[in-house]
Amino acid sequence: MKRQFADNELDTSLSRVDGNEKVSGAATYSAEYAVPGLVHAVLVTSNIAKGSITAIESREAETAPGVLAVISHLNAPAVPGWPALKQPAERAPVGTAFRVFYDAFIYFDGQPVAMVVADTQERAIHAAALVRVTYQQETHQTHFERNVKSAGIPQNVQRSKNSPFQDYGRGDADAIAEAEVRIEAEYTIPTQHHQPLEPHAIIAVWEANDKLTVYDKNQGVKSAQGQLAQAFKLPRDNVQVVSKYIGGAFGSGIRVWPHTIAAVMAAKQVKRPVKLVLGRDQMFTSVGYRPYTAQKLRIGASKDGRLHAMVHEGTGQTSMYEEHLERTVLATRAMYTCPNVSTRYRLLPLDVNTPTWMRGPGDATGMFALESAMDELAFALKMDPLEFRLKNYAETDPERNLPWSAKSLRECYKLGAEKFGWENRQIEPASIRRKGMLVGYGMASSLYGFHRHPSKARAVMRADGSVTVQSATMDIGPGTGTAMTRIAAKVLGLNAKKVKFELGHSNLPDAPGQNGSATIPSVGSAVHVACEALKSKLIALAVKMSEAGKSGGQVVVTDGQGVRNGRVFGSGADDEGVSFADILKYHKLNELEATEESKPGPERDQYSMFSFGCHFVEVHVNPLTGEVRVVRVVTCADVGAIINYKTARSQSIGGVVGGIGMALMEHSEMDHRFGRYVTTDFASYHIPVHADIPPIEVYYVDKPDVHVNPMGSKGLGEIAIVGVAGAVANAVFNATGKRIRTLPITPDKLI
């Protein structure tokens, strides 16, 4: 198959442009900047879930060796962007991001209540253990099931009529009762944490009274810059945020979290640069999580397998002070053709910290339920689950009644099924045994909405003809720099080695944060147009040269074929062209620059835009011990043109790995008597290890979607995980006949 983003059939992928730095330790992560005079802050966190602080005994900590300050709400420097404290003090109203060291209220267990700053990290940790906090405790509610009756329509949705989270219906809401075959089931996913291997960390430096630099692990330097400028009432440009290398994030770095503000406060208080690194246990209550979510699905079809009605209700947990909304039930409206669909989304506020987006937010949760339910209904229909999906294939968007900008899901199904050998699946569960193991096959579909935001990029060519491209985008792991390098190299007709891409600094041209699988669609487009602009400039200069008879050939170029191998070519067949370096030299230019912005246009209103995909999974289940091992995965995606196969493939593999974790292991367990998590290290919060990961085959349809952006590329990051948990659960059912509707699928549930 022709690779779309390749110059020819033989074109190979780029390896990660920063791979060497990363594996050799040369890459500098947020906590690793050697800032002179650096001191260390450590957070003291609450061990009650609700109440207020009555006293903080910090003398022992203050006098411990090396300690510079103990900071709490009693003495924290004011954050000028926050409102003055009300008297008498009141709990924050819904919609207030948590303000660290602001008042005495406790909103969740693990909340920062004090912070010790000391000359070394060890001394700060030791002194933090010496701070004694006493509380007036109040009864907390953290148990989802026990409180689910108090779930309601989010205030946010009540206020906004056009919110996508409004109750939705098409057709007849009662139609489910008439369906010839129907199933009804409840699905639960527990709280799961991102837990990237690199913990969140920040170094905060006040360069002057009104100038702040932070080296901070986050997913958006520009949004962090804006939020910090607002909090500390500084001109935007006086705040610089640096985040060049990130050891994974999965959504945990989208917001500016309390620990970041705390470090900036500490630096202000002690007048020294301050480093703050979250402990692994603190990561469970500091940077969000995938919320505990309960879903109920009722779906029905005619005997011949045509969907007749779907009712999808979802309830997610949130904190008492903020509403975190997820797309949990939204996929059900668009995934399949079905005349009667209704969805309902509710929120349950609990005494916990606010959840946040985690890879495939809402969709990974919702598609676990929908794709399990589809499998259940297929089984009730005695129909092959893939055939059932094909029967209900949505040729146009059934929710918006718009054509898809492009959709090759059918090709994905076909490719995946072939490569996987789906035809060997038995409909009857537990019918294949191999070496004493129960063998099961499962599949699921995947979709994720297309997102594109305005982005800028700057391309600068230097005298030697090499190019630096810049944008304030991020790389939390997908290989952004590599993909952007490839786009630039392709547009400019340059060897990728001559292109350097810079990201992760707020002084670079504006770009959105890395989330919603929007980086390639948004920033990639900006890089594309900036490089196109640079190319036009080069060609124009080359034309001038040729007019003056200096180009060595006739350069008359009007179309995009004008550059190759670092040279501008004319139309003549034996034209040798003129090198970029010579063009700059002739025009006495040290550099040639182009900055462009790229924005989405009216296409959103004309088309419905999604990435699509599917996953095929084989599991082996030990009938005696209930242990599930995934032994084979085939994953296929339709995300438009693939920019760089090698890094794309890694993205897909990473998504499957995350999905296997979601399905089989990840579970943040809380002891509700205390409202406190008890799985706060990697020995108890299980994520997959290498031994859990089987060979994963990745395939792409690789057809450009001409409506979305100049490259024809859609997002891949989220779609890689969406649906995987459902495919695993379906395979477990096929292997054992047991339908596990509450994740994770651990041996105790199968035995």
Partner 1 sequence: MKPFQYLRPKTVSEAVSMALDNPEAQYIAGGTNLIDLMKRGIASPPKLIDINHLPLKKIEHRYDRIRIGALALNSDVAQHKLVKTRQPLLAEALLAGASGQIRNMATVGGNLLQRTRCSYFYDVALPCNKRKPGSGCGAEGGINRTHAIFFNGSEVPSCIAVHPSDMCVALAALDTSVVVAGPAGERRILFKDLHRLSTKEPEMDTTLNPGELITSIEVLDNAFTGHSHYLKVRDRASYAFALVSVAAALQMDGGKIWDARLALGGVAHKPWRYWAIELMLRGQPPSEKLFREVAEHELQSARAGEHNAYKIKLTANAMIAALKIAAGIS
User: In the block, which residue shows the tokens 């997002």?
Assistant: 715
Nearer to partner 1, 686 or 739 (CB): 686
Please list the residues that pair with 295 across neighbouring strands: 187, 314
Helix 221-231 and helix 258-270, axial crossing angle in degrees, nearest 10: 50
Least distance CB 198 / partner 1 (angstroms):
18
Distance CA 379, CA 182 (A): 11
Nearer to partner 1, 349 or 688 (CB): 688
Q: Which of 399, 596, 697, 718 is catalytic?
A: 718
Nearest to 361 by CA among 194, 501, 204, 482: 194
Distance CA 536, CA 492 (A): 10
Least distance CB 693 / partner 1 (angstroms):
9
Least distance CB 187 / partner 1 (angstroms):
20
Least distance CB 682 / partner 1 (angstroms):
9
Structure letter (DSSP) for residue 554: -
Nearer to partner 1, 1 or 129 (CB): 129
Nearest to 366 by CA among 252, 284, 290, 440: 290
**Cβ atoms of residues 511 and 595 within 8 Å:** no
Q: Name the residues that contact partner 1, by CB under 8 A.
A: 47, 65, 122, 125-126, 129, 281, 436, 622, 624-627, 629, 664-665, 669, 671, 673-674, 676, 678-681, 683-684, 686, 688-692, 746-749, 751
Nearer to partner 1, 586 or 674 (CB): 674
Q: Which two tokens stand for residue 477?
A: 């792991």
What beta strand segments (E) does 565-712 contain? 567-568, 578-579, 591-598, 610-621, 628-638, 670-671, 676-677, 696-700
Structure letter (DSSP) for residue 524: I
**Cβ atoms of residues 41 and 263 within 8 Å:** yes
Nearer to partner 1, 25 or 37 (CB): 25
Distance CA 634, CA 698 (A): 6
Least distance CB 495 / partner 1 (angstroms):
40
Nearer to partner 1, 32 or 669 (CB): 669
Q: What is the full DSSP assignment across 247-313?
A: S--TTTTSSPPHHHHHHHHHHHHHTS-EEEE--TTTHHHHS--BPPEEEEEEEEE-TTS-EEEEEEE
Give the containing element (helix H, strand E) for 207.
strand 201-208
**Cβ atoms of residues 254 and 219 within 8 Å:** yes
Least distance CB 120 / partner 1 (angstroms):
11
Distance CA 264, CA 96 (A): 20
Bridge pairing between strands 437-449 and 239-242: unpaired
Least distance CB 83 / partner 1 (angstroms):
32
Structure-derived torsion over alpha carbons of residues 100, 102, 105, 107, reported in degrees to the nearest 10: -30
Q: Which two tokens stand for residue 606?
A: 């004309």
Amino acid at 159: R
**Cβ atoms of residues 447 and 678 within 8 Å:** no
Nearer to partner 1, 247 or 626 (CB): 626
Least distance CB 748 / partner 1 (angstroms):
4
Least distance CB 746 / partner 1 (angstroms):
6
Residue 22, Cβ neighbours under 10 Å: how many? 14
Nearest to 578 by CA among 606, 549, 603: 549
Nearer to partner 1, 109 or 363 (CB): 109
Q: Which two tokens stand for residue 169?
A: 């219906």
Nearer to partner 1, 185 or 693 (CB): 693
| Catalytic annotation present for 718 | yes
The residues assigned a catalytic role are: 718
